[in-house]
């Protein structure tokens, strides 16, 4: 029988690997019942990682799109509806004269400025659903503004009338008047000095 050569090397290897680790006793059970659990966990976690990453990416994209949409819509929605009212005493020919509620009162022509036109026209596909609603809202605002203006006009007119009447009355009382001069109120409520016949004056 041939004697093994390199005995030192064989002995070194034997000592080194003599106490090598043993396969766990439940290895067969784990192999047949649950093959490669760590790999299964790895796949599971990998699926979750990929799925989660996709969800986050989609959510971020949607959020970005929403933010961009809001960014586009906000300037138009915030476009101020300006009702410029001209109350100068000089008559101005209005673009669209507004009918006064009370035809007996003086009509001050009102110039209603139109809503400032948007600088950038949106493409048809980008038009928001609330676009028409904005027009109706602006018309409502104009109507309210006109109504408030009318009320202001009426108040101012009434006060002017009172001041004028007081002036007329004071002047009438302070100055010597003819015997047949009378202070009366006309149909508009203004004071007027009129001269009547002597018979009428005696009756009054």
Contact positions toward other proteins, by CB under 8 A? 5-17, 20-24, 27-28, 30-32, 35-36, 38-39
Looking at beta carbons only, is 16 or 120 nearer to other proteins?
Answer: 16
Shortest reach from residue 44's CB to other proteins, in Å: 16
- For residue 204, give the H/E element and its range: none
Record the tokens describing residue 93, joined without a space.
């020919």
CB of 40 to other proteins, least distance (A): 11
- In angstroms, what is the minimal distance from the CB of 121 to other proteins? 60
- Distance separating alpha carbons of residues 178 and 80, to the nearest angstrom: 60
Rounded distance between C-alpha atoms, residue 101 and residue 12, angstroms: 117
CB of 55 to other proteins, least distance (A): 29
Closest to 84 measured CA to CA, from 45, 137, 43, 141:
141
When the beta carbons of 4 and 91 are compared against other proteins, the nearer one is 4
Would you give the end-to-end CA distance of the chain in angstroms?
167
* Cβ-based nearer residue to other proteins, 36 or 102: 36
């Amino acid at each position: 029988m041939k004697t093994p050569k390199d005995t030192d090397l064989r002995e070194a290897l034997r000592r080194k690997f003599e106490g090598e680790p043993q396969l766990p006793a439940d290895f067969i059970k784990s192999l047949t019942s649950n093959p490669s659990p760590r790999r299964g966990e790895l796949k599971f976690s990998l699926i979750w990682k990929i799925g989660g990453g996709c969800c986050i990416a989609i959510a971020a994209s949607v959020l970005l799109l929403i933010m961009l949409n809001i960014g586009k819509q906000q300037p138009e929605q915030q476009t101020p509806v300006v009702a410029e009212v001209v109350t100068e005493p000089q008559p101005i020919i209005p673009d669209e004269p507004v009918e006064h509620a009370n035809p007996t009162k003086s009509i001050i022509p009102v110039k209603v400025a139109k809503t400032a036109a948007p600088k950038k026209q949106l493409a048809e596909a980008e038009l928001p659903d609330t676009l028409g609603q904005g027009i109706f809202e602006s018309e409502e605002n104009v109507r309210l503004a006109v109504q408030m203006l009318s009320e202001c006009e009426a108040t101012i007119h009434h006060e002017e009338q009172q001041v004028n009447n007081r002036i007329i009355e004071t002047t009438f009382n302070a100055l010597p008047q003819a015997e047949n001069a009378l202070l009366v109120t006309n149909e508009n409520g203004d004071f007027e000095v009129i001269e009547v016949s002597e018979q009428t004056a005696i009756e009054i």
